[in-house]
Amino acid sequence: MRLWTMFRYQFIQNIRDRTTYLEMMLLPLLLIFILGVSLEGAFQTPPVTDTKAIYLNEDQGPVGEAFEVFIENLENERFITIRAASTLEAGMNLVEDGEGHAFVHLPVSILEEDTGMIAFYGSPTHPLQASIVENAIKNFISGANTVMAMDTTGMEGRLDYQGSNIVERPLNVSHDRPGAMDYYAVTMLVMFMMYGTNYAVFGMKEAYLSSTGNRIKSTPIGSTEHYLGLVLSNLTTIVLKALFIIGFTYFVYGVNWGSNWLMLAGIILLTALMAVGLGTAVIMITRNETLSGNILMIIVPLMTFFSGGFFQINIQQDSLLYRMQYLIPNHLSQSAIFNVIYDGNTERLLLVMLMMILIILVTYVLALLAERRYQI
């Protein structure tokens, strides 16, 4: 009963300013909408049907003849259009002017020792289409090399192109990967949950460290009930905000939150525990509400940035920064949510959740040690 009294008291304090609380619930919804709509193009895979290849075949020998057959078969594919260039310079200019995505050049007498190389130039502004052309040419080169190797051993070989092995499949139709709205719904959710550290700062300062807190300690409410009531009320405040964001984005924005709602709820709870633990540790160490708030106002956006919350970042695996991401609460929570929604690696999900639990334990231990230091 005394725990419930402490919980109820602090929860009312957290939502007392209803205008601010409502703004903190609506602001992430606005950011999700703006980022999701404006950056949708960055999350879409461009169609390969617009791939344009330019070629110049100057070889009159067997390789040049086989290449012409290869080109004829390639022209029958829907994903690529092919155009012949009159000169080497003309072919390069067509790619640079955006009229082609890649240029392939077969020099004169390609089988001669000094010129036996097919030149390839891909457009740097259209890497996907350029790679499609490059892979097709690699298939031709592989077949030509096989025929040449058979000829040297006395075996009879013939280069016969059988068509493309590319199968067109639409992406993102069944949420196999997140779109912009799906992505920013997760990252903004985590960011604003981490801003919940301010509830812990305010609650611990007003109801535990201040004169009000001292008066509460003089009542029959025990220190454990006092402390636990504050933690649970701050935790509930953050979780309710998260549930509202998830529910609104699911029904209004059509965001994909997966089907494993129980696991998602567990990750939301762990994220809220991290936020409360971090805020509690900071205020217990500094004993200054203003200083704690300023520290967290710097830390939370930085954690969001290095976790790819504002835009996707590609960090090389096994690098120092890649390992350091496992110490960032935002990255851990985002990784766990994405793994649950899109059926990611189970071992990675378990590792991420263990790191979240470790951070929770560390922050609460730091808070208790800081409190004991001031009590001595």
The string of pLDDT tens digits covering residues 184-214 is 999 999 999 999 999 888 888 776 777 766 6
Phi, psi dihedral angles at 318 (to 5 degrees): 70, 5
**CA 207 vs CA 181, 222, 228, 231, 288: distances in Å:** 39, 13, 12, 11, 14
Check residue 16 and give its pLDDT.
Answer: 81
| Radius of gyration for the chain, computed over Cα atoms and rounded to the nearest angstrom | 30
Transcribe 100-160 into DSSP letters: -SEEEEE-TTTTSTTT---EEEE-TT-HHHHHHHHHHHHHHHHHHHHHHHHHHTT------
- 106, 57 in Cβ contact below 8 A? yes
How big is the chain, counted in residues?
A: 376
Share of the chain above pLDDT 70, in %: 81
Instruction: Encode pLDDT of 107-133 as tens digits.
Output: 887 776 555 678 888 888 788 788 888
Instruction: Encode pLDDT of 25-77 as tens digits.
Output: 889 999 999 999 888 876 766 555 578 899 999 888 888 888 888 888 877 77
Q: Which domains does the chain have, with CATH numbers?
A: 2-43+174-375 (no CATH), 48-152 (3.40.1710.10)
Check residue 192 and give its pLDDT.
Answer: 94
On the CB side of 29, CA atoms within 13 Å amount to 19
Q: Strands 119-122 and 51-57: what pairing?
A: unpaired
- 234, 195 in Cβ contact below 8 A? no
Check residue 32 and give its pLDDT.
Answer: 94
